Each structure stands twice: as structure tokens, then as C-alpha cells.
Amino acid sequence: MTHSVFAFLVVLGILIFFHEFGHFLVARLFGVGVEKFSLGFGPRLFGRRIGITDYRLSLIPLGGYVKMVGEEPDEELAPGLAAQSFTHKSVLQRMLIVFAGPLFNIILAVVIFFVIALFAGVLILKPSVGAVKEGSPAFNAGFQKGDLITAIDGAAVTSWEEMADTIGHSGGRELEITVRRAEGELVLRAKPERMPTQNLLGEEIQRYVIGVSSAGEVLSRKLGFVEAVLQSLRQTYAIAELMVVIVAKMITGAISFDTVGGPIMIAQMAGDQARAGISSLFQFIAVISVNLAVINLLPIPVLDGGHLLFFLIEAVKRRPVSVKVREIAQQVGMVLLIMLMILVFYNDITRLFFSRGL
């Protein structure tokens, strides 16, 4: 348990620091004064004041914040601080300051994936057959356990994912599949059939398959600098896209909110990843960092996306959203956020008790 709590604090600390540092850095770039840079909420534990900024560690480690000069439109400013006021900056500058938090979470993920890809390479699931389903197209075509699929319709295949994707998009037409066996290479003909299967979200979908399962053999492939950059960008984009789809499906009711996890689940997963090794832990940090960026960009008041929505309206109407409207929206957003926190804590506690058989 102690191991999981420590891993959780490390994960959360890194994520919060990069998010708030994004806000802080761009704010200072545009000459906005920063009064507080806090990791955590609540009472100040300790810190140091440099200039007008109080860099602090606060009691509750479930977030953080950057308090800028003139952050609220009706805030009274000390003499001489108007030039450093957030509210007095242009709409574009304010939008960039707010957007910098989620952006830095994305950058963190890209950097982590890049370093891992450059020094550890990528693991590739080989397109080797572990089992052949009886009566399937592959069974009728003569596939055997241990076959290594090397090409489909003359195009080279280097991974199980690539092979499955090619078959899945075949439209059911007959394919010429080259396999390698102990005695050499041979070409087998199989016509994929449309079968129900599950996607990453557990939803049932129809997909073309030939009826083989993976042998589970993996190989590590080293990447050059440019390849590592492209790989990190692809991974980050794929996770962000998946997160957007998940959020959209939750809003429409296609996915249950029971799947949402909170601090307890993150702590458990962080502990598991830490035990698996430093590389696994940092990959977990990268995934959570992307998720945090996507969630923060939702157009909900009190989140960065809500602030961006207000600034966008201001840019279109050429005048700020009224203080009253902002206050009401902030209150609604806070209620939604509290309800979400209650939900994730409930889900976490339910999983914890059921997993222990209580």
C-alpha cells in the first residue's frame, strides 16, 4: 500500500508540475505576474517566495494552481500592477496562457514516449499463429500452429497488428497469404468472414477475420531519432483520440460511467507500473498526462476548456462575458466537478471492496 501511495504521489506530482508550469511559463512570457505557484490545494505546508511569487507545496495533493495578478475581471489591483494583470492582456494571450497547461501535458507525453522509443525501442507482436480455429477460413486454407505470416497479396507484413488490420479491411475478398514454416515459404488462400468481436472499449463490432490467434511472440526493434519522434507523436495522438472517443461515448451513454476511475484506482495502477519497472511507470505517466490534457480541454467552467470557451465568446462578441454569467457558470461547473469526484471515489471504493471480496 505504501508503495502505491508513493508511486501515486510521484505520478500526480509530475503531472501537476508540468501542467501548472505550462500556465506559469507562458504567463511570464507575456509579462503576467504570478502570485502563487502551488502543487496541491489547501493550507500551505512550505515553500519559498521569489519576487512576488510564492512557490508552495500545499496539503491536499489532488491538483495544483497558478494564481496570476488580475486573474478575475473585477479584482482590485495594487498600484503599479496593472501592466502585469492577466485580465489586461489580449484575448489571444489569455487563451494561450490557459491552453499552455494541457499543451505541456501533451508535450510531457511526447517526450516520455520519445525517450523510451529511442533508448528501449518498440515491442512488436510477431504475426505468428498460435492457434487455428476449427472450421474457420484459416483452417480450411491449411494454416498451422507456428506459421509466420510474412505477406498478404504480395505486401510485406511485419507485425500482428499490421496483419490483422489488412485482413480487417479486406472487405471479405479472397487473400493470398504467404506463410513461413520449417520447410520453407508457401502461399495459402483464405477468404475472411465477418464475425462479431470486441474493440478496445469492450463494444461488439463486426470485423473480417480468418480464425487465427496470436502465438504471443514479441520482438524489440530499435528506432532512429526521426523514427522515435514519429513513434512518440503517433502514440500520443492515438491515446488522445481514444480518450476523446471514450468521453463522447460516456456523454451519449454508449459507455457506462462505472468504468471511470479516480485517485484510488490511479494509485493502484501506479503501484503496479512502478513494480513493473521505471519504463512502465513513465509510460503510465504519459498515458495519464494525455488523459489529463483532454479532460482539461472539455468546455466545462472551472476547467481550462471552460475558460477558453469564455475567451472565444469574448473574441467573437468583442466584449468580455459578464461577471454574473461567469459566476453562475463557475458554480454549475463546480457542481458538475464535485459530482464527478463523488462518482469516481464511489467507483474506486466499490472496486476496492469487491476486489477484496468484502
Task: List the catalytic residues.
Answer: 20
Which residue from 304, 336, 236 is spatially nearest to 64, judged by alpha carbons? 304
Phi and psi at residue 53, to the nearest 5°: -95, 130
Give the N- to C-terminal CA distance of the chain in Å, as an integer. 18
Whole-angstrom CA distances from 97 to 132, 261, 314 are 55, 29, 16
Sign of CA dihedral 38, 43, 46, 49: positive
Which residue from 30, 22, 19, 23 is spatially nearest to 92, judged by alpha carbons? 30
**DSSP string across 48-77:** EEETTEEEEEEEEEEEEEEEETT-STT---
User: 350 is written with which cell numbers?
Assistant: 466499490
94's enclosing H/E stretch is helix 91-120
Burial (CB count <10 Å: 0-12, 13-18, 19+), residue 2: exposed
Strands annotated E in the chain:
34-50, 53-68, 122-125, 129-132, 148-152, 155-156, 175-181, 184-190, 193-198, 204-209, 212-214, 218-221
CB 152, CB 188: distance < 8 Å: no
User: 8 is written with which cell numbers?
Assistant: 501515486
CB 40, CB 17: distance < 8 Å: no
